[in-house]
Amino acid sequence: MKIKFLLPLAILVLTASVPAQQQPKPAAPSASRRPALETARAARIDRLLRRYVDENRIAGAVALVMRDGRPVYERAVGWADKEAGRRMNPSTIFRIASQTKAFTSTAVLALVEEGKIGLTEPVGHFIPTFTRTTVAVRTASGVNIVPARRPITIQDLLTHTAGISYGTDEHVAALYEAKGLGPAAGNGWYTADKEEPICETMERLGTLPFVAQPGEAFVYGYNTDILGCVVEKASGMPLDEFVRTRITGPLGLKDTRFFVPPAERERLAAVYASGPDGLIVRAPEGSKGQGAYVDGPRKSFAGGAGLTSTAHDYARFLEMIRNGGALDGVRILAPRTVELMTTNQSGTLHSYASYLSPERTSTGLGFGFGFETVDRYGASGMAGVGAFGWGGAYGTTYQVDVKSRSVLVLMIQLMPNATDIQQKFNTLVYQALVD
């Protein structure tokens, strides 16, 4: 008993005799123990989402933030379908419209890596009607249709610098509508109700005049839908099959599809619209509202705006990109390819209306091969230099912030969208990053 008592005492005396500077220092809290978002500040995100629902400015939302590949914030608020009494939940499916472009751009770059597509290769090698294209030029006396000065390339399409719009521009709208495009396709980009494969639609598009010369302006339009057809031609398989076998399947994205299975229709959120007073009303059926994503003909796989997905699926896809093209042992792209995609490849051309004016200004934003890039801090709120992202017409939005190792995803269904919730969501996430 005496020995047992004296041993701890001896250890205590020896420890006390060590000079203070030699004493072992308490271990610093490991990064894994620190809160990924400061708790009180993250609560501000909750209040923002609930306020927009309570004020009837959105029906509901799913928000997801990942840091270092793990979810650190996930909320489902409000209604997936108010009239049906269906609550929003993390597994709710959303129409992601132009967020499809990131998947199609990834598909293109995968084929570039295989040597089946070249970045500077003319699109006419895959779609014959693009061999010689034309441009509609406004003049004092009307509109002149002139030949394009050079062929449109794959890189032009990836950066939206091919001069191709959605055909709703006043000086070409009638021509596009006559060919079942532009005003005849909802807001121009919608093809889910078409009975024809996407390549037939894009081959017809190639016969129409575009609105700017290749390489001279950033014009947002059918570019990535054309790339979807190029993927089909280069791979020998439909776009939906390529995306499933090469991207969503390997990554385990079970809810990212061009059309929702009829058995899962209750998982699809309803579309709402901002009214004149800013309050929401249910969007109509058809191309400018709910769309044919469940009961449609399932023949047109639009690479620019056709997919449906969940917040979790989309965040996992983005985490693969953030991680240099691989995730959980599955490699989709090489790191150098991802660097091309997420680096500004369009100079100062990135401006929605740049083709209407010869002026070129630097906004601090650029466009890579499928993503908008942040080249100057402050150009996109608090997003760091090197961040990249985009959004969709139904109100979905995302951003990958490389410096903070974060992925931000916000899913709503609101078209048109008169709110500022996307910008405020991003801001409140960033203000909660205090480590």
| 98 included as an active-site residue | yes
Q: What digits encode the pLDDT tens for the residues 71-120?
A: 999 999 999 999 999 999 999 999 999 999 999 999 999 999 999 999 99
In whole angstroms, give the CA distance from residue 63 to residue 412.
9
Q: What is the pLDDT of residue 31?
A: 45
In whole angstroms, give the CA distance from residue 81 to residue 435.
38
Which of the two residues, 29 and 80, has the higher pLDDT score? Answer: 80
Where do the CATH 3.40.710.10 domains begin and end in the chain?
35-100+237-431
In whole angstroms, give the CA distance from residue 99 to residue 393.
9
Domain 119-234 in CATH 1.20.58: yes
User: How crowded is residue 127: how many other Cβ atoms within 10 Å of its Cβ?
Assistant: 19
The residues, any chain, with a CB within 8 Å of residue 290's CB and separated by 6 or more, are: 270, 271, 283, 284
Q: What is the pLDDT of residue 357?
A: 56
Pairing state between β 134-139 and 209-210: parallel
The residues, any chain, with a CB within 8 Å of residue 124's CB and separated by 6 or more, are: 130, 131, 132, 151, 152
The residues, any chain, with a CB within 8 Å of residue 428's CB and separated by 6 or more, are: 41, 44, 45, 48
Percent of the chain at pLDDT exceeding 90: 86
- In this predicted structure, the answer to whether residue 21 has a pLDDT above a threshold of 80 is no
In whole angstroms, give the CA distance from residue 412 to residue 418.
13
Give phi and psi for 430, each to the nearest 5. -65, -35
In whole angstroms, give the CA distance from residue 284 to residue 330.
41
Q: Which is nearest to 120 in space by CA: 85, 145, 157, 79? A: 157
**Token pair listed for 314:** 């989309």
CB–CB of 93/263 below 8 Å?
no
Q: What is the pLDDT of residue 19?
A: 38
Determine whether 273 is exposed, middle or buried from the number of CB atoms within 10 Å of its CB (0-12, 13-18, 19+): middle
CATH placement of domain 35-100+237-431 = 3.40.710.10
Position 363 confidence tier, pLDDT thresholds 50, 70, 90: confident
Determine whether 99 is exposed, middle or buried from the number of CB atoms within 10 Å of its CB (0-12, 13-18, 19+): buried
Looking at residue 371, the DSSP 8-state letter turns out to be S
Which of the two residues, 28 and 75, has the higher pLDDT score? Answer: 75
CB–CB of 37/65 below 8 Å?
yes
**Whole-Å CA distances, 401 to 211, 222, 394:** 33, 27, 23
Where do the CATH 1.20.58 domains begin and end in the chain?
119-234
Strands of 86-87's sheet in order across: 86-87, 70-81, 60-67, 406-411, 397-401, 388-391, 372-374, 365-367
Q: What digits encode the pLDDT tens for the residues 117-152?
A: 999 999 999 999 999 999 999 998 889 999 999 999
- In this predicted structure, the answer to whether residue 352 has a pLDDT above a threshold of 70 is no
Q: Which residue in this structure is represented by tokens 């209604």?
A: 79
Q: What is the mean pLDDT of residues 362-373?
A: 93
Q: What digits encode the pLDDT tens for the residues 242-285?
A: 999 999 999 999 999 999 999 999 999 999 999 999 999 999 99
Q: What is the pLDDT of residue 435?
A: 85
* Single-letter code of the amino acid located at 410: L
Q: What digits encode the pLDDT tens for the residues 385-434?
A: 999 999 999 999 999 999 999 999 999 999 999 999 999 999 999 999 99
The residues, any chain, with a CB within 8 Å of residue 87's CB and separated by 6 or more, are: 60, 76, 78, 79, 80
Question: Which one of the listed residues 17, 91, 98, 346 is annotated catalytic?
Answer: 98
Q: Say whether 413 sits in a helix, a strand or coil.
A: coil
Q: What digits encode the pLDDT tens for the residues 177-206?
A: 999 999 999 989 999 999 999 999 999 999
Cβ burial 13-29 (10 Å sphere, 16+ → b, else e) = eeeeeeeeeeeeeeeee
CB–CB of 97/187 below 8 Å?
no
